[in-house]
Amino acid sequence: MSVEGLTGEQNDGLVNYRVDPRGERVVVLPATCRAGRHSLVVAGYRAVADSAGVAVECQTCRAEGVSPAAWLFGTAGPLAARAEFDDQPYLDRRTRADAALPSWK
Ligand SMILES: [Zn+2]
């Protein structure tokens, strides 16, 4: 399994981690797709983690040809035991790329 452009293109910085109350390492993925259009859990997503990083691709954006359809993160440290979704750590990263666009909200 691979995602085009993953290698060497961790555009979105390092992925976030947290440690849960049982001491397990949890990787925190954004709940909203890279384009800011869909909830990944609702729209469908594909997450791929390898030594190069983590890619989280929105299936709906991919199907519609929206680019970029995927978040591309670098990873640090050991592999997380599980993943969860939270937009909070990523809010500033999405607006960074959209800064030149007018705000619709
Ligand atoms: Zn999407």
Residue 46 CA to ligand 1 centre (angstroms): 11
Residues sharing a CB contact under 8 Å with residue 33, sequence separation 6 or more, in sequence order: 39, 40, 43, 45, 58, 60, 61, 69, 71
Ion ligand 1 neighbours (CB, 5 A) are 33, 35, 37-38, 58, 60-61
Residue 85 CA to ligand 1 centre (angstroms): 15
Across the 105 residues of the chain, what is the mean pLDDT of every consecutive 10-residue run? 48 92 94 95 92 91 94 89 93 63 46
pLDDT at 39: 97
Q: Measured between alpha carbons, how far is residue 102 from residues 12, 29, 59, 61 in Å?
A: 21, 26, 25, 21
CA-based nearest residue to 92, from 43, 26, 30: 30
Residue 32 CA to ligand 1 centre (angstroms): 7
d(CA 66, CA 64): 6
Q: Does the predicted model carry a pTM greater than 0.85?
A: no
Is the separation of the CB atoms in 38 and 18 below 8 Å?
no
pLDDT at 96: 53
